[in-house]
């Protein structure tokens, strides 16, 4: 099975040693419209999330508050650009429902709501070489989501980027690119969960194992292969 190809830049780890991550990498996936069981589980999780944290400010949810501090630390306004987890919860509060997109995206959103953590799911086949999580050099290219336009992130912005300088996600966990989005053509994908708060590694571990089970149940073909892992990013720099 192909190894998982992503890494954190040492400088980013040095600046944010509290970073924890977990991943599920899958091959032989079957991305399609979510079946009735997954749609029901996703809907129920949305209601549970509203009951559990719908009344709370992001500042009172440790995982979201930690991402706000992280955004501020690398020079981004955390209220202008919200982490993916906070934005998803905000959308749920405002509209009362997160619509179903496809089974893999729904699983990512379900996990994000359940654990109040940002989750990135991207089509691994669209990337070239090693995916780097680190500071932008100011030369990379980002294709805006839902638009056919390209921009270059400012130097120093935290991005996910491959070896062809294609940006997969901007402002760490703010917004994904259009070219890396999961579609029904996706067969290889990476789901990545990240945390910055004190109990982040333990929470990431739970979220990762949960995500693997959901993918195995709802998005894996008969010959699918799944690999998962979780760690404190600081361990990678040793």
Q: What is the pLDDT of residues 65-94, one digit of tens each?
A: 999 999 999 999 999 999 999 999 999 999
Helix, strand or coil, per DSSP, at residue 40 = helix
Give residue 61's pLDDT.
Answer: 98
pTM for this predicted structure: 0.96
Position of tokens 């509060």?
Answer: 93
| CA angle in degrees (0–180, nearest 5) for 51-60-19 | 110
Read off the pLDDT of residues 36-56 as tens digits, 9 standing for 90 and up: 999 999 999 999 999 999 999
Q: What is the DSSP string of 147-182?
A: SS-EE-PPTT-EEEE-TT-BEEEETTTTEE-STT--
In which region does residue 140 sit, left (phi positive, over 0), alpha (psi from -120 to 50) or beta (all else)?
beta
Read off the pLDDT of residues 105-136 as tens digits, 9 standing for 90 and up: 999 999 999 999 999 999 999 999 999 999 99
Give residue 1's pLDDT.
Answer: 55
Q: Which residues is 232 bridged to in the sheet?
A: 20
Pairing of β 131-135 and β 158-161: antiparallel
Give the C-alpha separation, 183 to 102, whole Å: 8
Reply yes or no on whether the pLDDT at 2 is more than 60. no
> What are the residue ranges spanned by the domains of the chain?
13-128+179-237
Read off the pLDDT of residues 148-190 as tens digits, 9 standing for 90 and up: 789 999 999 999 999 999 999 999 999 999 989 999 999 999 9
CATH architecture, domain 13-128+179-237: 3-Layer(bba) Sandwich (3.50)
Reply yes or no on whether the pLDDT at 95 is more than 60. yes
Give residue 4's pLDDT.
Answer: 65
Give the C-alpha separation, 224 to 220, whole Å: 5
Give the C-alpha separation, 16 to 1, whole Å: 31
Give residue 10's pLDDT.
Answer: 95
Mean pLDDT of 19-29: 97
Pairing of β 6-8 and β 131-135: parallel
212 φ, ψ (degrees, to nearest 5): -60, -45
Reply yes or no on whether the pLDDT at 216 is more than 70. yes
Instruction: Determine whether 37 is exposed, middle or buried from the number of CB atoms within 10 Å of its CB (0-12, 13-18, 19+).
Output: exposed
Distances (CA, A) of 8 to 33, 44, 131, 172: 33, 35, 9, 11
Task: Identify the band that residue 25 occupies on the pLDDT scale cut at 50, 70 and 90.
Answer: very high
Task: Identify the band that residue 144 occupies on the pLDDT scale cut at 50, 70 and 90.
Answer: confident
Task: Identify the band that residue 238 occupies on the pLDDT scale cut at 50, 70 and 90.
Answer: low
Give residue 182's pLDDT.
Answer: 96
Task: Identify the band that residue 208 occupies on the pLDDT scale cut at 50, 70 and 90.
Answer: very high
Give the C-alpha separation, 160 to 100, whole Å: 25
Give residue 148's pLDDT.
Answer: 75
Give residue 3's pLDDT.
Answer: 60
Give residue 147's pLDDT.
Answer: 73
């Amino acid at each position: 099975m192909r190894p998982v190809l992503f890494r954190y830049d040492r400088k980013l780890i040095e600046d944010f040693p509290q970073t924890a991550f977990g991943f599920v990498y899958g091959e032989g996936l079957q991305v399609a419209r979510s079946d009735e069981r997954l749609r029901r589980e996703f809907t129920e999780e949305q209601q549970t999330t509203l009951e559990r944290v719908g009344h709370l400010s992001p500042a009172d949810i440790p995982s979201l508050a930690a991402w706000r501090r992280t955004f501020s630390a690398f020079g981004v306004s955390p209220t202008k650009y919200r982490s993916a987890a906070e934005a998803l919860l905000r959308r749920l509060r405002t509209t009362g429902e997160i619509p179903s997109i496809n089974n893999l995206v729904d699983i990512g959103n379900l996990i994000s709501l359940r654990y109040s953590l940002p989750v990135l799911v991207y089509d691994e086949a669209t990337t070239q070489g090693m995916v780097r999580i680190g500071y932008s050099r100011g030369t990379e290219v980002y294709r805006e989501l839902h638009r056919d336009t390209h921009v270059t992130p400012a130097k120093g912005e935290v991005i996910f980027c491959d070896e062809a300088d294609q940006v997969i996600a901007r402002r760490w966990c703010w917004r994904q690119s259009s070219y890396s989005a999961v579609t029904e053509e996706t067969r290889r994908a990476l789901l990545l969960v990240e945390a910055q708060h004190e109990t982040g590694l333990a929470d990431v571990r739970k979220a990762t194992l949960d995500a693997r089970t959901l993918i195995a149940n709802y998005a894996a073909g008969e010959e699918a292969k799944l690999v998962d892992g979780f760690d404190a990013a600081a361990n990678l720099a040793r």
